[in-house]
Chain A
Amino acid sequence: MVEIGKIVLDTGWLAARSTEVEVNGVELTTTRPPTQPESPWMEAVVPGTVLGTLVKNKLVPDPFYGLENESIIDIADSGREHYTFWFFTTFDCKLSNNQHVDLNFRAINYSAEVYLNGHKEVLPKGMFRRHSIDITDILHPDGQNLLAVLVYPPDHPGRIPPQGGQGGDHEIGKDVAAQYVEGWDWMTPIRDRNTGIWDEVSITVTGPVKIVDPHLASTFFDGYKRVYLHSTIELVNKSAWVAECSLNIQVSTELEENTFLI
């Protein structure tokens, strides 16, 4: 049984170029998972980008040294499939009765397909959005869970004009993504346009009721003497029965190390 809370999945990731992987997502997460970083699989940087993974594995030079970026093929010349990558990892998670678990991606650039133990979920476009999938019914109750993520680059990676320029040909502006990746007066073009699982991946285990996106705000009166804290939360009841909940909010401050005032 796991305790409630968050487990970050930031180790043990493998990656491979999608065109070099001959099996599909269902097979990867059921019968034919990669077992070690053998070609085409390599150790992956998660969170990070495809280019970060290629640099880590010394398959391309570090683009921020000298003019090394010039030797890395740009997505406009290679095609999007060159920087479309599989990411793969495993995790254990043994739930007890009435526990629920979500798989969370805090940001992916730009869209993805997620496979977990043979089940597929499409993560829609957008570099700056969170994704959360309830995987309670997909988890293997005993043993390893196999997770594969196929990450696609931005839809409009654009082309860098020979003379460079601010935001290249501006095509990246058609997507909801960082625009500096086509190059700017202070930055070389980023060859993969920052494609990747670029922020935290985690699973969160809860009981029947989950807290979502609390909002804290304060108001001030009488010259900051009288202050109120306002707190709003979303609650999701994942169970099939009415949940009688006791909600508790507590504000504490650390007076000195390990001494708290509540």
Chain B
Amino acid sequence: EHLETQHVSISPGANIHYTFPQLYFYKPNLWWPNGMGKQHLYNVEITVDVQGYGESDTWSHHFGFRKIESHIDSATGGRLFKVNGQPIFIRGGNWILSDGLLRLSKERYKTDIRFHADMNFNMMRCWGGGLAERPEFYHYCDLYGLLVWQEFWITGDCDGRGDPVSNPNGPLDHDLFLLCARDTIKLLRNHPSLALWVGGNEQVPPPDINAALKNDLQLHPYFVKSNDSDTSAIT
């Protein structure tokens, strides 16, 4: 039941989207943040074989079944999280990058992130003035159960506040910002540790960027919570 083969014809030079029939799992092992349970990871492997050629390409990725929900609490103004339906008390650390010269080795990511897990943290927040972190960073957050709050590249100081007051209209090229945002989302979206996208640090992005990010990152209607309370939303 966890194996599916489909046939598809692709025209010369064409670029297509293809959606597999959904795969059914009965009570899969869930992925939990650090301190709430194990970080169960499944390996998803996709291959394409071409008639007359053989195996043409292959792709694999660790995948964790988890549902992350969050909302702003009206009483406190704080953001409350649930993972797999369970409330979680967030113990978070701020993160910029592991090295100012961007020597971002797997070994260093592993050590840094495991250190955060050993400190009993369950979330790392990637600050808007730093990096969209790399897949290796997310890989170890997947392994050690660190949820990631990933911000895009807007800060209060450079984008509307600061001394002297900076330009609130963000980068000069808004289309470039959105192109980079969309590409980053595609790069990172399959990691179970990825919990929340945020426009920036201490500042709201310019209205057109903010609106586009909100639109692009909203749930596909297929996944939006329905009246059926058993139907679940995903991030």
Q: Give the interface of A toward B (CB within 8 A).
A: 4-5, 45, 47-49, 51-52, 55, 63-64, 98, 106-107, 125-130, 165-167, 170, 172-180, 182, 184, 186-187, 190, 194, 196, 198-199, 206-254, 260, 262
For the complex of A and B, the 7 pairs showing the least CB-CB separation, nearest first, are A207-B56, A173-B158, A166-B157, A52-B101, A220-B232, A244-B51, A170-B166
- How far is the CB of B38 from the nearest CB of chain A, in Å? 12
| Complex Cα gap A3–B33 (Å) | 37
14 contacts between A and B (CB under 8 A): A48-B101, A51-B101, A128-B153, A170-B158, A174-B172, A177-B153, A199-B134, A216-B63, A220-B65, A233-B59, A244-B51, A246-B51, A248-B46, A249-B46
- How far is the CB of A64 from the nearest CB of chain B, in Å? 6
Contact of B20 among A47, A243, A249 (CB under 8 A): A249
- The reply on B231 being an interface residue by CB < 8 A is yes
Are B42 and A251 in contact (CB-based, < 8 A)? yes
Are A126 and B179 in contact (CB-based, < 8 A)? yes
Are B47 and A210 in contact (CB-based, < 8 A)? no
- How far is the CB of B29 from the nearest CB of chain A, in Å? 7
| Complex Cα gap A128–B154 (Å) | 13
| Complex Cα gap A244–B221 (Å) | 31
Interface contacts beyond A235-B48, A253-B29: sample of 7 additional A-B pairs, CB < 8 Å, sorted by A: A45-B103, A49-B101, A98-B53, A107-B134, A173-B171, A254-B43, A260-B43
Cβ–Cβ < 8 Å partners of B88 in chain A: none
Are B232 and A63 in contact (CB-based, < 8 A)? no
Are B180 and A126 in contact (CB-based, < 8 A)? yes
Are A174 and B19 in contact (CB-based, < 8 A)? no
- The reply on B50 being an interface residue by CB < 8 A is yes
| Complex Cα gap A173–B85 (Å) | 39
Cβ–Cβ < 8 Å partners of B89 in chain A: none
Are A175 and B162 in contact (CB-based, < 8 A)? no
B72-80, B113-121, B140-148, B184-192: which lies at the A interface?
B184-192
- The reply on B67 being an interface residue by CB < 8 A is yes
- Give the residue among B45, B50, B56, B61 with the most A Cβ atoms within 10 A: B56
Are B183 and A221 in contact (CB-based, < 8 A)? no
A179-B153, A232-B17 as given contacts; A130 in contact with B183, CB under 8 Å? yes
Are B9 and A244 in contact (CB-based, < 8 A)? yes
| Complex Cα gap A5–B59 (Å) | 9
Cβ–Cβ < 8 Å partners of A128 in chain B: 131-132, 153, 180-181, 183-184
Q: Give the interface of B toward A (CB within 8 A).
A: 2-20, 22-30, 40-59, 61, 63, 65-67, 84-85, 96-97, 100-104, 127-132, 134, 153, 155, 157-159, 162-163, 166-167, 170-173, 176-177, 179-181, 183-184, 186-187, 189-190, 222-223, 230-232, 234
**Taking CB as reference atom, which chain B residue is nearest A165?**
B163
Are A219 and B55 in contact (CB-based, < 8 A)? no
Contact of A215 among B12, B96, B190 (CB under 8 A): B190
- How far is the CB of A66 from the nearest CB of chain B, in Å? 15
- How far is the CB of B15 from the nearest CB of chain A, in Å? 5
Are B186 and A213 in contact (CB-based, < 8 A)? yes
- How far is the CB of A212 from the nearest CB of chain B, in Å? 8
Are B190 and A216 in contact (CB-based, < 8 A)? yes
**Taking CB as reference atom, which chain B residue is nearest A215?**
B189
- How far is the CB of B63 from the nearest CB of chain A, in Å? 5
- How far is the CB of B86 from the nearest CB of chain A, in Å? 11
- How far is the CB of A137 from the nearest CB of chain B, in Å? 14
- Give the residue among B26, B180, B181 with the most A Cβ atoms within 10 A: B180
Cβ–Cβ < 8 Å partners of B172 in chain A: 174-175
A220-B232, A229-B25 as given contacts; A246 in contact with B65, CB under 8 Å? no
Contact of B56 among A4, A167, A177, A241 (CB under 8 A): A4
- Give the residue among A98, A170, A222, A225 with the most B Cβ atoms within 10 A: A170
| Complex Cα gap A248–B85 (Å) | 32
Are B173 and A234 in contact (CB-based, < 8 A)? no
Are B180 and A245 in contact (CB-based, < 8 A)? no
A232-B17, A248-B49 as given contacts; A178 in contact with B130, CB under 8 Å? yes
- How far is the CB of A21 from the nearest CB of chain B, in Å? 22
Cβ–Cβ < 8 Å partners of B54 in chain A: 207
Contact of B177 among A176, A225, A231, A234 (CB under 8 A): A176
Cβ–Cβ < 8 Å partners of A127 in chain B: 153, 180
